[in-house]
Structure 1
Amino acid sequence: MESDFIQTVNAHAGIIQNVCRLYGKDDEDRKDLYQEIVLQLWRAFPAFRGESKASTWMYRVALNTAISLFRRQSRQIAPVPIDQELLNLDQYIASPDADPQMQQFYRAVDQLSLIEKAIVFLYLDDNSYEEIARITGISQSNVGVKLNRIKGKLKKIVELTNE
């Protein structure tokens, strides 16, 4: 079982990395989230029956873990002086090695809700509407509607930041 798990995680490591990139604020958050996702995958692996693709199962576990962790952390507000927060703002927006267009994209995506981020991520990762629906738990037709609304929202965010 252990070797099957390791093989499955290694085959789809990009899924975990992408979820961590979207939901982690900085490198440390991303590392913590990565570990938490792998832990949750390990716990859920014995119950995985193969009724869906391994990637679909991993997306669902990874996104649920990231969203749960995000909600848990958002309830724990740590006091941070505003000047320190402003000094470190770039680390929350995009990685320093990203090109300017990618930085703008990540800043725009960062303004979306948790479910909207997940849908964008899944869409950009070439998942079908059917797979996105299965992973997020919304209907397939609702995926299309939400994607169109999200695209409009992102366009407005980018336009406002370019003014």
Structure 2
Amino acid sequence: MSNDFYTSSILPYSGIIIKICRAYTDSQEDFEDYYQEVCLQIWRSKDKFRGDSKWSTWVYRLSLNICLTLMKKKRKTHQYYSTDNIVQNEFTDDKTIFSDENLNLLYEAIKQLSEVDRAVILLYLEEKPNKIIAEIIGTTPNNIGVRISRIKERLKKILNEKIN
């Protein structure tokens, strides 16, 4: 990957990539692996960008798809060795992803959402309009509005249970 491409086409969107990778990983090691894989795949796929959407939308969609694929591969690998509960506990003890405890709580709550709901709330937190979120997720803007309301309620409930 050329330094110019990284500096001009990936680095300005690293915040998006970081948020997605953190939402779909439970350890610093996994986060670093996912981030590296996303950057590599963006570079490999750059010629496939058709310009139908903004570059940032394309980067978000590609990052999300890569993280979901890596997560599914990891899940398949771990189910041969242990149950889901053991695998989940193995990773949730690692709190080194964020130094801010409130941010840790938020991401722990987000990780309890479905894969699609995680993507929706991350886009919402990035202040993306419902139309863009709908385009990335593959649904309607109205559906996104309803989904965001439900996700917020679910997150409030999860966070209240953790705090109390």
SS in 2 for 1:12: helix
**How far apart are 1:83 and its partner, in Å?**
8.9
- What is residue 5 of structure 2 aligned with on the other side? 5
Aligned to 2:93, which of 73, 90, 93?
90
Question: Is 1:106 matched with 2:110?
Answer: no
Contact 1:94 1:107 in 2 (8 A): no
Letter in 1 for 2:145: G
After superposition, give the CA deviation of every residue in 1:37-76 in whole Å (9 maximum; x if it has no partner): 1122122210112221110000000001001111111111
After superposition, give the CA deviation of every residue in 1:91-128 in whole Å (9 maximum; x if it has no partner): 1x5635113x2222122111111111111111001111
Once the two structures are aligned, what percentage of the paired residues are identical? 35
Contact 1:119 1:132 in 2 (8 A): yes
Number of residue pairs matched by the alignment: 161
Q: Which runs of 5+ in 2 are unaligned?
A: none
- What is residue 150 of structure 1 aligned with on the other side? 151
Letter in 1 for 2:24: Y
**How far apart are 1:84 and its partner, in Å?**
10
Moved more, 28-37 or 77-86: 77-86
Letter in 1 for 2:112: Q
**For residues 83 and 129 of structure 1, what CA distance do their matches in structure 2 show?**
37
Greater relative CO, 1 or 2 (CA 8 Å, sep 6+): 2
Mapping for residues 3-152 of structure 1, pairs under 5 Å:
5-6=5-6, 7-77=8-78, 79=81, 89-91=92-94, 95=97, 97-99=99-101, 101-152=102-153
Instruction: Please tell me the root mean square deviation across aligned C-alpha atoms, in Å.
Output: 2.6
Q: TM-score, normalised by structure 1?
A: 0.86
